[in-house]
A and B are shown apart, each in its own frame.
Chain A
Amino acid sequence: MSRFLFVVPPLVGHVNPAVGVAAELALRGHRVAWAGEPELIGRLAGAGARVFPCAGRRAEAAPVVRPAHIRGPEALRFLWERFLVPLAEAMAPGVTAAVERFRPDVVVCDQQALAGGLVAERLGAVWATSATTSAEFTGALSGMPKVQAWLTALLDGLRHRVGDPASTADPRFSPHLVIAFTTRELCGPVSGSHGRFLGVGPSISARPDGPDFPWEWLDPARATVLVTLGTANTDTGTRFLAECREAARKRSDRLQAVIVDPEGSAAHHNGNGNGKESENENAASVEPTPDKDILIRPAVPQLALLQRAAAVVCHAGHNTVCEALWHGVPLVVAPIRDDQPVIAGQVVDAGAGIRVRFGRVTADRLGAALDSVLDDPGPRAAAGRIGGSFRAAGGSPAAAAHLEELALEAHR
């Protein structure tokens, strides 16, 4: 039996994949504990999870208040200076206490919980990286030495405050093992200095049942198109969703669109809402009903819906992209910021979808892209091929097996 400590940021999309791996390790008889935000981890990993609390609530609000218009390199600066580095400093004392008290054989560190690798290294513990997206492995900053130097300086300062000042290791990349929830069929060649890179495919299973859905609404004679901007981008999506609606409306003879709209912004944009209604969860119900062609829902059971979908229009968030590809569904990707442009590029390079410009695309261009992924067999075949690579990659059991091995090596 070995002991594994999972260090995670207060972000659902980063905790969920770790939950699958942690459950697999527990099944194999190992001891598992967590360092992070107790309420979130308890909700996602189960009430029985042992959690060493880390401050992080203050930092948790940061990505939410990041102004919607901040994108591109400005978003990069904001992410590192205002979120990742402060989060690491807030989490470091809790991670230290967790390592000292739980005495893990391996610390499994989410790539955005920088405190994990820094503290583990300072305390001489073996650590692995858990990467929920693959954008850090594509050398995106390699042509920009001054930007690279800015990031290196940020990490050096952070290491000096919470890690081993004598080290130079990058807390994003474990020298022992990197587990990434993708495959090379999607992410392409991997660059950078790190330990063994293990692509295990996305973590798809073991999620509680999603919200209700009116399955009888779906018309079997028409293609189902799912439009979603994930959970974090709705404030910026009003214009884009309106273009999606128009493109779908013009194609109602052949397709139905399910639009995920948590904030009710699509209905709002239609002139049916006002400031008060936009705060109302049921704002989407303002939409004229019944509508046989377009269904707007605040949330959908995404995995179940993907089994019926012919195409997905999304922001190229890694989780949504991987879930679509897992089901062999081709994509129209409209990346907004952060890792999304890189992931969108991976989708395009793999032939599994078409990229459009989130802030500029019109209904006509969006519709043309939709027609292509629906009519051309190429994107569907490529999506199916990547989905196959995901299924073959081993998922949580493969990740658990390699972590077991690393724990044994740590004892030698």
Chain B
Amino acid sequence: MSTSEQTGTIHADDGAVLADVAGMLRVILDEYGPDDTEIGMDTTFTGDLELESIDLVTLAGELQARYGDRVNFAEFVADMDLEEIIALTVGRLVTHVVMCLNSPENSPEAG
């Protein structure tokens, strides 16, 4: 978990963020068992995980708690059309989070 501090000097990478996001999704799905679905970059939110909009609200809260204001999930979703929401993968969210965390303008000082 290399991204736990909101210091603005951290360098987030896909693997660490994926582990974070997958952990959040497992909490939301209430699934921890060895037989449960693997969550990878290609896992789709609606097709594979069957997440509903209420789950996305919960996820937004988890992301906020984890990363603070540097990651705005509501804006991320608001920018998507129906096709993009249908096709949304964990990987697209991870890439977005990594980009936000590594963006210099998005450091707490600039925010």
Chain A residues with CB under 8 Å of chain B are: 71-74, 76-77, 140, 143-147, 150, 335, 341, 345, 357-360, 365
Report if A72-B81 is in contact (Cβ < 8 Å); known contacts: A140-B53, A341-B54: no
Which single residue of chain A is at the shortest CB-CB distance from B51?
A72
Q: Which residues of B contact A145 (CB under 8 A)?
A: 78
**CB pair B29 A360 closer than 8 Å:** yes
**CB pair A341 B46 closer than 8 Å:** no
How many chain B residues touch A (CB < 8 A): the figure is: 20
What are 6 A-B pairs at a CB distance below 8 A?
A: A72-B46, A76-B82, A77-B82, A144-B77, A144-B78, A147-B85
B109 near A: Cβ within 8 Å? no
Which single residue of chain A is at the shortest CB-CB distance from B31?
A360
B87 to chain A, nearest CB (A): 10
In the complex, the number of residue pairs spanning A and B with C-beta atoms less than 8 Å apart equals 51
Known contacts A73-B82, A77-B86, A341-B54; 12 further A-B pairs (Cβ under 8 A)? A71-B50, A72-B47, A72-B51, A74-B86, A144-B77, A146-B78, A147-B81, A147-B85, A150-B82, A359-B50, A360-B29, A365-B30
**CB pair B50 A358 closer than 8 Å:** yes
B80 to chain A, nearest CB (A): 6
Determine the distance from Cα of A365 to Cα of B86 in the docked complex, in whole angstroms. 27
B74 near A: Cβ within 8 Å? yes
Chain B residues with CB under 8 Å of chain A are: 29-31, 37, 46-47, 50-54, 74, 77-82, 85-86
Which single residue of chain A is at the shortest CB-CB distance from B73?
A143
Q: Which residues of A contact B74 (CB under 8 A)?
A: 143
Determine the distance from Cα of A150 to Cα of B81 in the docked complex, in whole angstroms. 8
Q: Which residues of B contact A140 (CB under 8 A)?
A: 53
Determine the distance from Cα of A341 to Cα of B55 in the docked complex, in whole angstroms. 10
Q: Which residues of A contact B81 (CB under 8 A)?
A: 146-147, 150
**CB pair A146 B31 closer than 8 Å:** no
Q: Which residues of A contact B86 (CB under 8 A)?
A: 72-74, 77
Determine the distance from Cα of A144 to Cα of B56 in the docked complex, in whole angstroms. 12
A357 to chain B, nearest CB (A): 6
Determine the distance from Cα of A144 to Cα of B76 in the docked complex, in whole angstroms. 10
Q: Which residues of A contact B47 (CB under 8 A)?
A: 72
**CB pair B85 A341 closer than 8 Å:** no
Q: Which residues of B contact A360 (CB under 8 A)?
A: 29, 31, 37, 50
**CB pair B82 A341 closer than 8 Å:** no
